[in-house]
Structures are given as structure tokens and as C-alpha cells.
Amino acid sequence: MIRGFAVLLLCQLAGESVTHGLGLPVPGPVLGLALLVAGLAVWHRMRPFADKTLRDSAVDQVADGLLTGLGLLFVPAGVGVVQYIGLIGEFGVALGLSLVVSTVATLIATVGTFLLVKRLGGTR
């Protein structure tokens, strides 16, 4: 289990180091996760393994353990909602509308980016 936790922390450290070293506008943990996925893909290409092997690995055990406590991270957000319930009641329509508009704008931008990359990649 310590080995799996060390792998996750090393990937996050590598992501943070690259992000800060190159001044990238990407969060270090996100880049670290990408490095972990890339590392697993390279490892799988060099030494193929079954999905069961990955599920039984130390990294999977640590990730499952961390995910079980993820719900606790949402408690402060819930407390904040209850604390500002008056403001939410007053500006709820505007907040809801802005959430809907921003979600639709994000979906449109994502589809547009996908279509642009698809067109530039030459695949149909």
C-alpha cells in the first residue's frame, strides 16, 4: 500500500515540478495524473498485463481508499450553501441561469474544439 501511495505522490510531484518549471497553466495534479496514465500505457505496451492485474495493484488499492473519503471534501461546500441560503434565495434565478448558460457554452466549445481537431487530423 505504501508503494502505491508513493507512486501516486511521485506522479503528482512530477506534475507539479513540470508545471512550475515550465510555467504551464495546468494544475500539477492534473499533469501528474496524465503522467500516471501515460506511464501505465507505456508499461502495458512493454509488458502487457490483464485488467485484473491492474485492479489488484497497490495503486488501485490506494486509489480506492482515497476515493472512499472523497465525500468528506464536499461537507464544507454543503455548509457554505446552508450558511448563504439567504443569498441563494435572493439570487437563485440568476445563479441557476448562469450555470445553465455556462454549461451550454462549455458543451458548444468542447464540440467545436473536437470538430476542429478532427478536421485538422484528417479523420472523418
3-state secondary structure the chain: CHHHHHHHHHHHHHHHHHHHHHCCCCCHHHHHHHHHHHHHHHHHHHCCCCHHHHHCCHHHHHHHHHHHCHHHHHHHHHHHHHHCHHHHHHHHHHHHHHHHHHHHHHHHHHHHHHHHHHHHHCCC
Q: How confident is the model over 1-31, as pLDDT tens digits?
A: 888 889 889 999 999 999 999 998 989 999 9
* pTM confidence score: 0.54
Domain segments of the chain: what residues? 1-68, 73-124
Q: How confident is the model over 81-97, as pLDDT tens digits?
A: 889 899 989 999 999 99
